[in-house]
Chains A and B, each alone.
Chain A
Amino acid sequence: MVEHASPAAQQSVPQSVPMIRFNSVTKLYGTHLALNQTSFEIGLGEFVFLVGPSGAGKSTILKLIYREELPTSGDVYIGRIDVPQLPDAQVPKLRRRMGIVFQDFKLLSGQSAYDNVAYVLRALGTSHSEVDRRVQGALKVVGLSDKLDAKPEELSGGEQQRVGIARAIVNGPSLLIADEPTGNLDPDTSLDIMHLLEQINRRGTTVLISTHDRPLVDRLCKRVITLRQGQIVQDVAQGTYQ
């Protein structure tokens, strides 16, 4: 399963510990069962699709990973971190170790692509020169070096998602989570975005993508975890969308 794991990533989490581990995780929203006794592991440097119809529990899994939700029962681990037991004050630190990409991009309108990517680094008190170096680097990876000053409203959907991805990788995370990243994009742009995420994965970042874009999943031929009604119905190493 583990491909192209970078030395840096291996250093931060020992090889024996998976990047993500769900152990009998159940999540109830009121009486609605979103996840039912779900268990799986994702190793360092993997590229995994999480697929299934709406309401299957894909977004719930992602939210449990970045501690937006707490499980009703079961264990969620990121590396050695017991996510549900993490004190609230430590949650920002956990999120800084991962990058999150959203379907609706979640960019700050009125701020340039550069400022959108730089925002978090500045909030952390990173020096001006370091911010510049990292933001320029991230925007170069996503191919937007020529659109630093463009505001989100001046960019196409695909370009906006590229800014979203640049923002997610600017911290150099070992894990990238994308919730329906191509949901608002046309097929060609979607494929571009997937190739970009693949390229980031090749640099050693573990990538977990929730999607119901069947052709895209079939085309990339990666590990696919299929969910239905809160349960994993299939987990295939080089799979397709069933």
Chain B
Amino acid sequence: MRANPLAPVTGTAELLATELRIASRLLLETLGGLKRSSWMNLVIVITLGSILTIFGSMAAFVLNIQQLIRNVGSGVEISVYVDPPNANPMFSSAENTSRENQMVQNLMKTIEAYPAVKQVEFLSRQQAWDVMRKQYDAVDIDNPLPNTLHVKVKDASLLESTVDELSRLPNVIKVNYAKNVVEKLKQLASAVSAIGVILTTILALLTMFIISNTIHLLIEARSREIEILRMMGVGNWYIRLPFFFQGALYGVCAVAVAMVPLMLVQHYSGQLFGYFQAVVPGSTVPLVATLMLLLSLGVGVGGAAVSTHRFLRI
């Protein structure tokens, strides 16, 4: 036991005990502040929770779409149509077919050697023609179809560059892929991102304003007490911290509220993947929840900081 409580504290254990006692007092002060704010607490948590819901849903949606683009994109088949070499009258039909196959095989090897390429499948013009004749009961005419190579890439981001390279290869007539699906998904993701960022920014500033005002009222209500504390030599941070804790607590509670809609968005995003028959990726919930927590702590503590900076005279 120290004879004089103002004498410097010595010894790690005693220092720790002092810090713990201060921390528990700060916690009590924070709870006192929350009690004083009464129904405003609910308004703030619901408002902040709504903003986080908008932010979180949009973030989860965009992250999922990006995953989907990767999955669908790498699943998209590039169809490479190969020009049949002109039949040489000097060779027999069998020799001509063999020359043609040789050329296609060479082309396949070239394409397979691309680092971006995952898989190449050959569909000969004869096979394609047989399938078509079966399906459409076509009349007996000369096979008009070209040989086709079905190419898959390792990653969606490599799709366009691969298509470019393939179309420059000799004997390639045309290269086709489901460009629209990927493009549309990309557009959707960037539109949702842009709207999300704008909405979140506006609403976050609004909530920060509400929190800052609530804490301002609290500072006003406690002005006499704060003045007494200052005169008695209570440290600045002891006076300030409960307001910061209160702001941070709003943030944590709002994240808890916003987790419910986030889980729903994650669930329906999963269904979207099912629709595209893509592999459902890992949940985005942990990442989005972390982002939401950072945002809400920023808004909560930021609101408190604005008020204590402007209205708390230390």
CA distance in complex: A15, B224 (Å): 37
CA distance in complex: A97, B238 (Å): 18
Q: Are A92 and B236 in contact (CB under 8 A)?
A: yes
Q: Are A125 and B232 in contact (CB under 8 A)?
A: no
Q: Are B233 and A94 in contact (CB under 8 A)?
A: yes
Q: Are B232 and A120 in contact (CB under 8 A)?
A: yes
CA distance in complex: A8, B271 (Å): 78
Tell which of A68, A88, A106, A130 touches B5, judged by Cβ atoms closer than 8 Å: A130
Tell which of B6, B18, B21, B25 touches A96, judged by Cβ atoms closer than 8 Å: B6
Q: Are A124 and B2 in contact (CB under 8 A)?
A: no
Tell which of A88, A95, A126, A131 touches B233, judged by Cβ atoms closer than 8 Å: A95
Q: Are B232 and A167 in contact (CB under 8 A)?
A: yes
Nearest A residue (CB) for B22: A125
B4 at the interface (CB under 8 A from A): yes
B43 at the interface (CB under 8 A from A): no
B195 at the interface (CB under 8 A from A): no
Q: Are A124 and B231 in contact (CB under 8 A)?
A: no
Known: A120-B233, A123-B238. A106 touches B2 (CB 8 A): no
Which B residues are in CB contact (< 8 Å) with A66? Answer: 231
Q: Are B229 and A123 in contact (CB under 8 A)?
A: yes
Which A residues are in CB contact (< 8 Å) with B21? Answer: 122, 125-127
B178 at the interface (CB under 8 A from A): no
Which B residues are in CB contact (< 8 Å) with A88? Answer: 236, 314
Dominant SS among interface residues on chain A:
helix
Tell which of B1, B228, B234 touches A127, judged by Cβ atoms closer than 8 Å: B1
CA distance in complex: A3, B64 (Å): 81
Using a Cβ–Cβ cut-off of 8 Å, how many residues does chain A contribute to the interface with B? 33
CA distance in complex: A94, B231 (Å): 10
Q: Are A125 and B234 in contact (CB under 8 A)?
A: no
Which A residues are in CB contact (< 8 Å) with B183? Answer: none
Q: Are A125 and B314 in contact (CB under 8 A)?
A: no
CA distance in complex: A172, B6 (Å): 9
Supply 9 further A-B pairs (C-beta < 8 A) apart from A100-B231, A119-B228: A95-B233, A107-B228, A108-B228, A120-B232, A120-B233, A123-B25, A127-B1, A127-B21, A171-B6
**How many CB-defined contacts (below 8 Å) exist between A and B?**
83
The 6 closest A-B pairs by CB, nearest first: A95-B233, A96-B233, A125-B18, A125-B22, A126-B5, A125-B21
CA distance in complex: A38, B225 (Å): 32
Which A residues are in CB contact (< 8 Å) with B20? Answer: 125
Which A residues are in CB contact (< 8 Å) with B314? Answer: 88
Tell which of A93, A125, A167, A171 touches B19, judged by Cβ atoms closer than 8 Å: A125
Which B residues are in CB contact (< 8 Å) with A106? Answer: 224, 227-228, 231
Known: A95-B232, A119-B232, A130-B5. A124 touches B22 (CB 8 A): yes
Q: Looking at the assembled complex, report how far the CB atom of A167 sits from the nearest CB atom of chain B, in whole angstroms.
A: 7
Which B residues are in CB contact (< 8 Å) with A100? Answer: 231-232
B235 at the interface (CB under 8 A from A): yes
Nearest B residue (CB) for A68: B231
Contact with B along A37-68 (1 / 0, CB 8 A): 00000000000000000000000000000101
A134 at the interface (CB under 8 A from B): yes
Q: Are B225 and A108 in contact (CB under 8 A)?
A: yes
CA distance in complex: A94, B6 (Å): 11
Nearest B residue (CB) for A168: B232
CA distance in complex: A1, B5 (Å): 30
Tell which of A95, A129, A172 touches B1, judged by Cβ atoms closer than 8 Å: A129
Which B residues are in CB contact (< 8 Å) with A121? Answer: 5
CA distance in complex: A130, B18 (Å): 12
